[in-house]
Amino acid sequence: MVSRFEGRSRWSVSRPGRHSRRVAAVGSLLGTMAILSTGLAPHALAADVRSQQWYLSAMKAEEMWKVSTGEGVKIAVVDTGVNPDTPSLKGQVLTDEVPEALGYKATVDHDGHGTSMAELIAGTGTGGSLRGLAPDAKIVPYRIATVGLNKAERTKAPDVRKVIKAIADSDVKIINMSFGSEYDTPGLDEALKYAHEKGKLLFASTGNDAETGGKINYPARYPYVVGVAASDESGKVGKFSEYGNYVDLAAPGLNVPTWCDESFNRYCTGEGTSMATAIASASAALVWSAHPDWTANQVLGSLIDTAGRDWARDDPSVYLGYGLIRPRKVLEKKNYQPGPPNTDPLAKENVRGVVTADGEPVSASKESKPQPSKGAPADGDRTSETASGADESDNTMLWVTVGATAAFLIMGGGAFAAYRSRRGT
C-alpha cells in the first residue's frame, strides 16, 4: 500500500480466466456475468468436479490421509468471506471464533473466492463436492473489503491489520492470504511480524502478473510470510506466476476446481497462485496435525527440506523457491527430525529483505527477469522440462484498494511454462 493509507483496507479476489475449463459442462463468463446452467443433475456435477482434483492423486492424498487429515488444526482464511453452508463446508467453519468487532459478514461470500479457498483446504467432499487436502482441519473466516462491495459495506469491513493481530492472539495455527499487491500497507508488516512471533504460519500468493511486467507482491514480500507460486501437473511453474526471492514454495495452481461465482451453483476450473496458496496451507495443516508439538518454524522447515527440486537446498529458485511442496515426504517418516524449534527457515530472506538477482534491495520496479532454466520435479519425483508453449488464458481478477489509490488482488488466470533461476545471494 502507499504511504497515503488512511481508513480501512479494501482488498480483492480472483475468478477463473476466460479460457478456464468448466466443470460439469457449465458455461462460464467473465466477471459478474451470469453462469449458464446446463441442467445437469447434482450427481453428474459431483462426479465431474471430483475428477478434476488431479493434485490429490499427484500428491498421494489417500496415502497421507492414513497418517493425517489435518485434525486439530485451525486455519484462518482472510478473503471475501466463507459460505459455511456449502455441502463441502458444513461443520467445517468456526463462525463463533471470529471476534464480533471483526466479523462483519464473515460468512457471506460475495464472490465465491474465499469459499473456494476454504474448500480446497478443508472441504469434506460431501455429496461429491470438493475434497480439501486437509479435510479434518477447521476454517476460521474473515471477510475483508473488496471491489465488489458498495461503499457502505467497504467501510464496515474490518481493517486487515486488526484482523491479523486478532488471529495472532487466537489458537489458529495457519493464516491463508490468497491476495497480493505491489503496494506496501503501513503497519501490516508489523501485524504479520506479531503473528509470526505468536507462532503462526503465514502463507500468501506471490501474484499472477509475471507476463505483463507485474510487480513484486505484498504480503508475500513481507518478512515471515511464505510466498507461494503456482505449478501444473508436471511441476512446471506458471508463466503468470510472479518471481523473486520472496517466492518460497510452489504448489498446484493449474486447472484447479473452484466455485464459478457467488451463486454457488457450479464449479469451474481455473488457475492462479490463490489456489496454490490454499493447497500449501492445507499441506502445512497435515504436517502440524501429525506433529502437534512442532513449532511453525519446524513445520515450515520440514516442508522446505522435503520440497521437490533439482537444485541445491541453499540455492533456491526465484520461480519455485525451495521447490514443490510435498507433505507426504514428511508424513511417511514417523521419526522425521524437523530441526530446532526456534530456527527460522527463512532467516536469510527475513533479515535481508527482498533483493534482486545481483543482491541489491528491490525498488518499486520489478527486478530483472532471470533466464529460464529447469523447473522442479513434481510430487511423483518427475523433473519438468525447460520452457515450452502452453495454452494461454486471460488474467482475470477483481481489484481491491486501500484508501483511495492502492490496489490488492486475489490471484487468478494465466498459463504455465517451466522456469527456474537462482535467487540473488
Q: Could you list the active site residues?
A: 79, 113, 274
β-strands 267-270, 256-259 pairing: antiparallel
| Distant-in-sequence, close-in-space partners of 185: CB < 8 Å, separation ≥ 6 | 1, 5, 9, 160, 161, 218, 219, 402, 406
Q: How far apart, in whole angstroms, are the C-alpha atoms of residue 126 and residue 257? A: 15
- Residue 382, SS3? coil
Q: Are 281 and 203 in contact (CB under 8 A)?
A: yes
Q: In residues, how long is the chain? A: 425
Q: Within its chain, how far is the Cα of 108 from the centroid?
A: 20
Q: How far apart, in whole angstroms, are the C-alpha atoms of residue 260 and residue 244? A: 30
Q: Which three cell numbers stand for residue 342?
A: 526456534
- Residue 330, SS3? helix
- Residue 417, SS3? coil
Residue with cell 511453474: 237
Residue with cell 540473488: 424
User: 47-64 burial by CB neighbour count: b if 16+ within 10 A, else e?
Assistant: ebbbebbbbbebbbbeeb
Picking from 129, 139, 163, the residue whose alpha carbon sits closest to that of residue 51 is 129
Q: Which DSSP state fits 370?
A: P
